[in-house]
Amino acid sequence: MEWRGPAVLVTLLALGTWSGYAASGQSRETTTGEGAAAPVEAASPSSPLQPPRPYAPDPPDPALEPDIPMKPATVGTGKFEITFPVPRGWTTIANATNEWKWKQPGTSNNTYVMRIEQINSQDITIEDAIDIRVARLQDEQEDVRIIDRGAQTLEYTYRSNEDNARHSFMHWLDLDDSGQADVEIVVHGRERDVEGTKDLITRVAEGMRGASAGPVS
């Protein structure tokens, strides 16, 4: 018998190549989907989510209570003089010629504090003053949440630079009916101080008088 090894080998290789191609084609046909392509959800996020950052513990000082004793105080000079009630016994700190702070002696930082600023020179309406304050808060502070905005007031929470949760009230006054904001009042506190800080800023705003008015009784 004559050996046909080379011819047989070529034939077998050709058959193997064809069968492999056919199997590959069949596999492609069975895995091809229909319809428009859509993204596939990843098994896990491409970048890890940042966990919530906890707030620092509040100072343990007792909460500020409403209806604390008050006394009259006067700041400014001439036509810029203003008189208003302040908490009796609190210490005054002058931050600038037109800005003052009041704080109860012996209390820790990040408890409660009141600030009053004369803003006559800015020549802005109360509405504009509130807009500016909200923009500054959102630009300069973290975790800002506007709770309530009134015609003359703003209530909000934010994260302090020391990571404390702060709850603040603001009130603007037009003392001479000029259509422009004259005074900005701010009271900062903790959540436990809300009842007291809200009462304090309300009493100060209601009792404030300009240079042409009589003293606060």
**For each successive 10 residues of the chain (217 residues), what is the average pLDDT?**
45 45 44 49 58 93 98 92 97 91 96 96 93 97 98 98 97 94 97 98 97 55
The per-residue pLDDT for range 93-109, each reduced to its tens digit, is 888 889 999 999 999 99
Model pTM score: 0.76
Estimate the share of the chain in helix, then strand, then coil, as percent rounded to the nearest 5: 30, 30, 40
Looking at 3.40.1000.10, 3.40.605.10, 3.90.1010.10, 1.10.540.10, the CATH number of the domain 70-207 comes to 3.40.1000.10
Nearest Cα residue to 155 out of 121, 119, 109, 201? 201
Would you list the domain boundaries of the chain?
A: 70-207
